[in-house]
Structure 1
């Protein structure tokens, strides 16, 4: 009998929560329809009390409290935790003047999540780690990263000269020399970085915040999106509110095409249109002397025209040239044991890595470092090593260590890697051939046809 009551109450709770969300959306619509600024607060409060939302909150709180007393296998407790968290969201968006049920809601949340909750897949979620049920969006909390905690700087940037110059103008110079940006001269407020994936757009944004000594909020736009009505717009508002609370701040929006695609398509939902309108308004009203917006996309041709128009600078971050590939390659080989000469590295960068992004080159280097490990695992004979000179190795090689060899080599003895003392295995260096093999076996992630799309898009912008 108790199980039947619990099931009925759970269904009732789900229906009430859905109804409450709909009523909250109605209140927000009423809020937006009020034209006089001095009547906004009273209008929302009247709408709130006139709707069933006020009484629904009390009913939902009572149901959550009742259902939390039932014995359960964990599944319903997870649902109750979600309902309590969602109720907190409703109260957060409801008018400030009415908080009669807030204490009960917080008490209910503590009651529901006071013990670990076990999900169906065996994963235990403890209260301190729970935001909401995994099927629903978590409470968005945007905490700016302080510049001293950012690990990258301009020293880590190779190439991308136009992007570095624009970011210095937008972020670094206004901070260090504010007298240069007075009167009508304002720093760039919104910058769009576009180009193939893996070319360092995120790194550029982080480095600019580090060099300017400015708090940094990095957000993947896909994290802002929600299937729940109003949640995406609320996350956008919270993001810009967090940035405005800093003296200066940089907002980095990655994968911005996921939110700001072209409007007017048949597949576009009403929620998507509202979210685009929200971010356009926020960008329009941003103060460039306080907040700099840096957005990144791999698909600039998918962006909405009105959104693209908000950017003061649109900068292409392309693939590195031969000299830059050489620098990137050497950067990723710092500290790696190898026996490759400088001229050989330059030749590989010029000939074998053409068309590779910095991210691709990083993967090639990691692959090359693993090739000696593969040889070590496959070895069936070992000997005391006769190592060549090892470039960039952190420590000298002990002559008593073992290395794999052929059965016909002098001093060879049969053995499997697993049978040897791990302390006797030499740190193997990779060779020029290993690096070339790694480059040949690693496919380029960016095709020529893909790069041509950027050329076509740029050409379309220049047509008048």
Structure 2
């Protein structure tokens, strides 16, 4: 039985390797680099790992997940969206949502940033964009997630725009346009490639890209219930004292982003350790056991200290700008 399991595991591994080796596009070296740097076949994030944002989850499920589960329904006028843009203040969970989408629908995940597609050689950045979409079609169904897309696709014609930057934008627009118009599987079904993008500056992106990202979803700061859920998710790996009032912490963190709230929980969870090592020498700290350091549960006083130190990172003016852009250009 043991040898059978080993054989099956090695066979699966070889099968995965052979599938990768089957890609035979014009730029094998670029494809190998992209596979190494941006391909993530198992992001491992579920919907339950993302606190709140129920409306954003519903919209993403309708735009991305359901077309993969019900391809016969999403035909003609119901065709899948070419792309989805998630915008909102920093630290609200846009990247986490993208990974959850890829996990929930079982697609191959390409995590791309502007640095990934940058090259000092003339013409290579455009080739990378083309190769990325070729790879995505090869591994279809797949999700291409472009984080901070505003740094890659600012408005064309802006002052100081370099010619190479303009060519990359043009190639990206062409590839998004034809993302699902070619290539079919062996049974005749189209190879579905979904483009997900995220930005903190939606007003900076090119108008033509905004049109191609047909679903534009606002990811707001967490509300009271979402903050409670996020605090519970953050504290699930540590012991919590009975005096901790999660509702009170959630009330006092209004205006905090998801990242801000995580920082509050992290800081509070480390206060017990800080008390334990206070006044001790380096050798004494090294000789302390893990149980000795971590046996103190996180108490309400730890949250009081953390809240006094960790302030919100998103300004009301920033939120107002996002809400104004949502009212003008949002499509969700």
Q: TM-score, normalised by structure 2?
A: 0.80
Which residue pairs with 1:145 in the alignment?
40
1:432 aligned to which of 294, 297, 300: 300
SS at match of 1:356: coil
1:377 aligned to which of 273, 277, 284: 277
Structure 1: gaps spanning 5 or more residues? 1-91, 97-130, 132-136, 381-414
Which residue pairs with 2:200 in the alignment?
298
Which residue pairs with 1:177 in the alignment?
70
- Contact kept, 8 Å, 1:222 with 1:255, in 2: the verdict is no
Larger Rg: 1
2:268 aligned to which of 368, 393, 400: 368
SS at match of 1:272: helix
Q: TM-score, normalised by structure 1?
A: 0.58
Q: 2:178 aligned with 1:285, yes or no?
A: yes
Q: 2:118 aligned with 1:225, yes or no?
A: yes
Q: CA deviation at 1:185?
A: 1.7
2:132 aligned to which of 234, 239, 242: 239
SS at match of 2:241: coil
2:231 aligned to which of 326, 329, 336: 329
Which residue pairs with 2:258 in the alignment?
358
Of structures 1 and 2, the one scoring higher in RCO (CA 8 A, sep 6+) is 2
Tell me how far apart the structure 2 counterparts of residues 303 and 247 of structure 1 sit (CA, whole Å): 27
Aligned length: 292
Residues 36-91 of structure 1 show CA distances to partners (whole Å, capped at 9, x for unaligned) of: xxxxxxxxxxxxxxxxxxxxxxxxxxxxxxxxxxxxxxxxxxxxxxxxxxxxxxxx
SS at match of 1:252: strand
Q: CA deviation at 1:458?
A: 3.0
1:51-450 correspondence to structure 2 within 5 Å: 140-142=33-35, 144-146=39-41, 149-287=42-180, 290-341=192-243, 344-351=245-252, 353-379=253-279, 418=284, 422-423=288-289, 425=292, 427-450=295-318
SS at match of 1:222: coil
Q: CA deviation at 1:416?
A: 9.4
Residues 208-255 of structure 1 show CA distances to partners (whole Å, capped at 9, x for unaligned) of: 111111111111123212233212111101110101112311111111
Structure 2: gaps spanning 5 or more residues? 1-25, 182-189
Tell me how far apart the structure 1 counterparts of residues 282 and 199 of structure 2 sit (CA, whole Å): 49
1:22-37 correspondence to structure 2 within 5 Å: none
SS at match of 1:178: coil
- Contact kept, 8 Å, 1:322 with 1:349, in 2: the verdict is yes
SS at match of 1:293: strand
Tell me how far apart the structure 2 counterparts of residues 360 and 429 of structure 1 sit (CA, whole Å): 21
Tell me how far apart the structure 2 counterparts of residues 258 and 312 of structure 1 sit (CA, whole Å): 19
Q: CA deviation at 1:335?
A: 2.0
Tell me how far apart the structure 1 counterparts of residues 314 and 124 of structure 2 sit (CA, whole Å): 35
Pair 1:227–1:139, CA change in 2 (3 A) = farther
